[in-house]
């Protein structure tokens, strides 16, 4: 078990390389930038039901692993419920997203979400400080990241503020944009600062199923078009956090499920359903494969082998069944068939196969 920054980093680089996530250039970069200095004390391990503090050998084991390290709880406020609000992300996800950027020498990159500063350091090692810009909304995280980056000899351009406003210097344009937090869309100001041909990569929040990764290219007309690929698990931008309305338990009603629940968790269907019902949040729990769903008006459901319980004004179970039938009528497209188009900061238009086959939201 590694017990030094160099030992932890060597183990991590070997792990990523064995998984085919590092080309020779990125392998040298990762080997040169230890993760450990960017992990503050205290730090936590994310367990299924809570965040657990890590110290000593457990801390080094976590740093050397392909797991996220939680670095902030409850936006830094004391006496909160212990919800993770910032982390040093899972290294394999970081490596994959950096590869998706397709960086070349001389590219200027904008990172949304400095957090601990680790990704900014990787980018600076790859491109040089002058070509790396990073925005962080949290003042404490931004200040801490700067201190750590300075201590490690990296001096990228840093800005503390809301990424929805873009980089603060007018006229700045970037060849690549990387989101290290999950987003509901690409902010208009950020899209405007991407050059035509720029690559835009980041996790897209989907209410139904796991988040996915957008790999977009800026078009001459100002839009960005590209594919959705794989799943991701990043913390959302603060502006993209879902606000919940309490569920009125007195409106509960029960019915039979009427069909197996497993198909509702398949990646192709969850992509389709999240485009058709963008305001609905749905997830499942193991081992009984219960499905849970919620909508902003307080509607909710729990579906299991014992049937369906629904609450609130909407019949979410009926909506999901209708969308499921539509999905099969469309040929049950697999996850790799989906793409997205973003214009002017609007919610992405999800499409199947080509941008002219848009999966439009249900009009309510």
Contacts of residues 71-78 at CB distance under 8 Å and 24 or more positions apart, as own/partner, are: 71/39, 71/40, 71/43, 71/44, 71/115, 71/116, 72/138, 72/141, 73/44, 75/138, 76/138, 76/140, 76/141
Q: Note if the bond before 287 is cis, omega within 30 degrees.
A: yes
Distance CA 341, CA 204 (A): 12
Out of 87, 89, 232, 274, the active site residue is 89
Distance CA 155, CA 121 (A): 8
Residues near 259 by Cβ (< 8 Å), separated by ≥ 6? 321
> Which residues on neighbouring strands pair with residue 179, listed in sequence order?
112
Distance CA 87, CA 234 (A): 9
Structure tokens given for 162: 């809301």
For residues 41-73, one letter each, b for 16 or more C-beta atoms within 10 angstroms of the residue's C-beta and e for the rest, the string is eebbbbeeeebeebeeeebbbbbbbebbbbbbb
Is 360 known to be catalytic?
no
Structure tokens given for 64: 């050397």
Q: Report, as residue numbers or ranges, the catalytic residues.
A: 89
């Amino acid at each position: 078990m590694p017990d030094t920054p160099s030992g932890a980093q060597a183990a991590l680089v070997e792990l990523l390389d064995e998984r085919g996530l590092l080309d020779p250039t990125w392998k040298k970069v990762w080997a040169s930038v230890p993760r450990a200095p960017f992990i503050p004390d205290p730090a936590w391990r994310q367990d299924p039901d809570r965040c657990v503090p890590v110290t000593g050998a457990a801390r080094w084991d976590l740093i050397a692993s392909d797991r996220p390290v939680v670095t902030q709880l409850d936006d830094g406020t004391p006496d909160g419920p212990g919800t993770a609000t910032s982390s040093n992300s899972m290294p394999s996800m970081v490596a994959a997203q950096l590869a998706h950027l397709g960086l070349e020498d001389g590219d200027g990159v904008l990172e949304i979400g400095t957090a601990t500063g680790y990704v900014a350091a990787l980018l600076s090692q790859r491109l040089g400080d002058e070509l790396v810009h990073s925005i962080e909304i949290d003042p404490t995280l931004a200040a801490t990241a700067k201190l750590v980056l300075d201590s490690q000899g990296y001096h990228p351009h840093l800005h503390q503020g809301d990424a929805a406003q873009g980089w603060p210097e007018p006229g700045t344009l970037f060849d690549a944009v990387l989101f290290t937090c999950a987003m509901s869309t690409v902010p208009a100001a950020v899209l405007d600062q991407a050059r035509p041909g720029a690559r835009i990569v980041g996790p897209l929040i989907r209410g139904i199923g796991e988040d996915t990764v957008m790999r977009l290219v800026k078009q001459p007309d100002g839009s960005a078009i590209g594919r959705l690929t794989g799943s991701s698990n990043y913390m959302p931008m603060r502006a993209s956090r879902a606000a919940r309305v309490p569920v009125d338990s007195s409106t509960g009603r029960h019915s039979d499920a009427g069909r197996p629940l497993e198909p509702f968790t398949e990646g192709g269907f969850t992509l389709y359903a999240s485009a058709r019902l963008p305001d609905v949040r749905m997830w499942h729990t193991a081992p009984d494969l219960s499905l849970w769903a919620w909508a902003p008006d307080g509607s909710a459901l729990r579906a299991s082998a014992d049937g369906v319980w629904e609450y609130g004004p909407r019949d979410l179970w009926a909506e999901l069944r209708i969308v499921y039938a539509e999905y099969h009528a469309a040929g049950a497209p697999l996850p790799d068939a989906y793409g997205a188009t973003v214009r002017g900061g609007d919610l992405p238009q999800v499409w199947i196969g080509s941008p002219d086959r848009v999966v439009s939201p249900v009009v309510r």
